[in-house]
Amino acid sequence: MKKIFCLLLCLVALFTGNVVAQEKGDMYLGGSIGLDVSSVGDSGLSMSTVSFSFTPEYAYFVTNNFRIGAGLSLSVADEVTVFTIEPAFAYYVRLVDKLYYIPELKIGGGVMSSDGYSTGVFSLGVNLFALEFKPSAKVGLSLSLVNLSCMVLPENELTAFNFNLISTPQFGFRYYF
């Protein structure tokens, strides 16, 4: 019985607090996951792709509602793996009591590997429609639906542009302290 009471007390302490998380000096640890399943077919030919991404992140609010952070992103699609370090900048706009709109800019650099071949990559991304719901001052649940990204492979002189409109949502969890 004592263990259950202590567990309940810890949960209450975790999900309550008087501090608004978007104030200067606040921080969070969190992460996001994304899954994309796509299929293209034409005249009897078809191709399916499944991609998964995972990004743990840390952020610090340098002023009220403006944060600077960094994430380590790992994306896997078929036989291609991309690992990047992504500094990020975001501004929180309060929509209603516990719901925030968060436009975000990410700049990244890392490595892409496929079939034993590796090359350096540079990426630039903008989350145009990201929301965060905060059921308490310590916890945030995020959803990113619209993003624009560009990936450059300097060694191969390749540039890829990607515009995702609700096709590859990313879900996240953030713990504020």
Q: For residue range 25-57, what is the model confidence (pLDDT) as tens digits?
A: 999 999 999 887 766 666 666 777 788 899 999
CA 22 – CA 42 distance, rounded (Å): 49
**How many angstroms separate the first and last alpha carbons of the chain?**
29
Residue 77's contacts (CB-CB under 8 Å, 6 or more residues apart) are: 36, 49, 50, 51, 52
| Residue 137 DSSP symbol | S
CA 174 – CA 72 distance, rounded (Å): 15
Q: Does domain 25-176 match CATH 1.10.10.60?
A: no
pLDDT of amino acid 167: 66
Residue 14's contacts (CB-CB under 8 Å, 6 or more residues apart) are: 136, 138, 139
**Three-class DSSP category at 177:** coil
pLDDT of amino acid 115: 85
Using the predicted structure, report yes or no on whether residue 85 has a pLDDT greater than 80. yes
Query: Tokens in use for 46?
Result: 């078809």
Contact (Cβ atoms closer than 8 angstroms) between residue 103 and residue 127: yes
**In whole angstroms, what separates CA 117 from the centre of its chain?**
27
pTM of the predicted protein model: 0.75
Banded pLDDT at 87 (limits 50, 70, 90): very high
